[in-house]
Amino acid sequence: MQEHSSNVRTSDVKPHRSLFERLTALISPEPENRTELLEVLHDAHERNLIDADALAMIEGVFQVSDLSARDIMVPRAQMDVIDLSKPIEEWMPEVLSTAHSRFPVVDGDRDKVIGILLAKDLLRYYAEEPFEVRDMLRPVVYIPESKRLNILLRDFRANRNHIAMVVDEYGGIAGLITIEDVLEQIVGDIEDEHDFDEEEDNIIAVDGNGHGKRWRVKGLTEIEQFNSMLGTNFSDEDVDTIGGFVANHLARVPHKGDEFDIEHIHFEVLRADARQVQVLLVEKRQLLLDLIDDND
């Protein structure tokens, strides 16, 4: 009679659960929606079952399905384009200074993109080889502002495309979006050509909405620089950055979409993950400023 092996792999043995744990599993319902699922994941993070990076990426995956191209695109006014109506000697320095890998190409009219040029294709210029830029243009991919990021990411992967032009309801160019912009929503900020990295670009003025002046502010902006630019007097004794300052004010890591006032400054969180706030929309409320002036 063949003797059965008594050696059992540890991985094949399911962990023994106590009676209390089994009863709890029967009583406690499984998460029925995304909110409940995220609560379970946050609880798992607090119990050190998953780390902050994993939680942030899971939240990013959920967020991708909620966002559309208009939410994260590079606006038309901030696009770096190549204008073929100008000689190559005029726009080549901009290609070098911006260091983009891909450029939308126009021919005199910024609203009409005729192709996409890969920076690597311009190496022939420095090799002093004859070439025609128009012959090197790649086709343009157009997408509506409303296109969901999860669908866009799937299309980017399927078509092996890395950049798309975003158009508004009238067919005009609203901006551009890259596969890297979409991936950043999952893995966090990637230092790329469209991010404002230099200290002088940590705070960028944007169009006002009638209530006061507004700025797009990087979360890692130092409070000293923030105070200098906006005329505030926030303390930097406990934290160094404006992202840390607002986190202290809320007593938690801010979430995307959070809005709150600190003194006469209105904050809106444009981008954040489970670890930190990344981008803020900051506004000086004119009504509050007027009230302050009236009381002086």
Please name the residue that has the structure tokens 């966002």.
67
Residue type, 65: S
Residue 144 has a pLDDT of: 95
Q: pLDDT tens, 123-147?
A: 877 777 777 889 889 999 999 999 9
Q: Checking DSSP bridges between strand 113-118 and strand 173-178, what pairing results, if any?
A: unpaired
Residue 207 has a pLDDT of: 58
Residue 8 has a pLDDT of: 45
State the average pLDDT for the chain: 79
Residue 49 is assigned to a structural domain of this protein? no
Residue 289 has a pLDDT of: 46
The CATH number of whichever domain residue 152 belongs to comes to: 3.10.580.10
- Residue 158 structural domain: 67-187
Residue 269 is assigned to a structural domain of this protein? yes
Residue 5 is assigned to a structural domain of this protein? no
Asked which of 137, 156, 187 is the last residue of a domain, the reply is: 187
Measured distance CA(83)–CA(64) in Å, rounded:
33
Number of domains forming the structure of the chain: 2
Residue 199 has a pLDDT of: 54
Q: Are both 127 and 165 inside the same structural domain?
A: yes
User: Is the Cβ–Cβ distance between 139 and 116 less than 8 Å?
Assistant: yes
Q: Are both 127 and 180 inside the same structural domain?
A: yes
Residue 79 is assigned to a structural domain of this protein? yes
Q: Are both 206 and 182 inside the same structural domain?
A: no
Residue 190 has a pLDDT of: 61
Q: How far is CA 38 from CA 31, 32, 41, in A?
A: 9, 11, 5
Residue 174 is assigned to a structural domain of this protein? yes
Tokens found for residue 11: 């991985």
Q: Are both 172 and 228 inside the same structural domain?
A: no
Q: pLDDT tens, 3-18?
A: 444 454 444 444 555 6
Asked which of 187, 213, 234 is the last residue of a domain, the reply is: 187
Measured distance CA(7)–CA(117) in Å, rounded:
63
Residue 109 is assigned to a structural domain of this protein? yes
Q: Are both 74 and 176 inside the same structural domain?
A: yes
Measured distance CA(217)–CA(227) in Å, rounded:
12
Residue 97 has a pLDDT of: 77
Which of 182, 94, 170, 102 has the alpha carbon at shortest distance from 139? 102
Residue 194 has a pLDDT of: 44
Question: What is the model's pTM?
Answer: 0.56
User: Is the Cβ–Cβ distance between 125 and 133 less than 8 Å?
Assistant: no
The CATH number of whichever domain residue 276 belongs to comes to: 3.30.465.10
Question: What pLDDT tens digit does each residue of the chain (296 aa) get?
Answer: 444 444 544 444 445 556 555 544 544 556 667 777 878 888 887 888 888 778 777 877 887 888 889 888 888 888 889 999 999 888 988 888 777 889 999 998 888 899 999 988 888 777 777 778 898 899 999 999 999 999 999 999 898 889 999 999 888 999 999 998 888 877 766 655 445 445 557 888 875 444 457 888 988 899 999 999 998 999 988 889 999 999 999 988 888 788 999 988 999 988 776 677 888 989 987 544 444 455 55
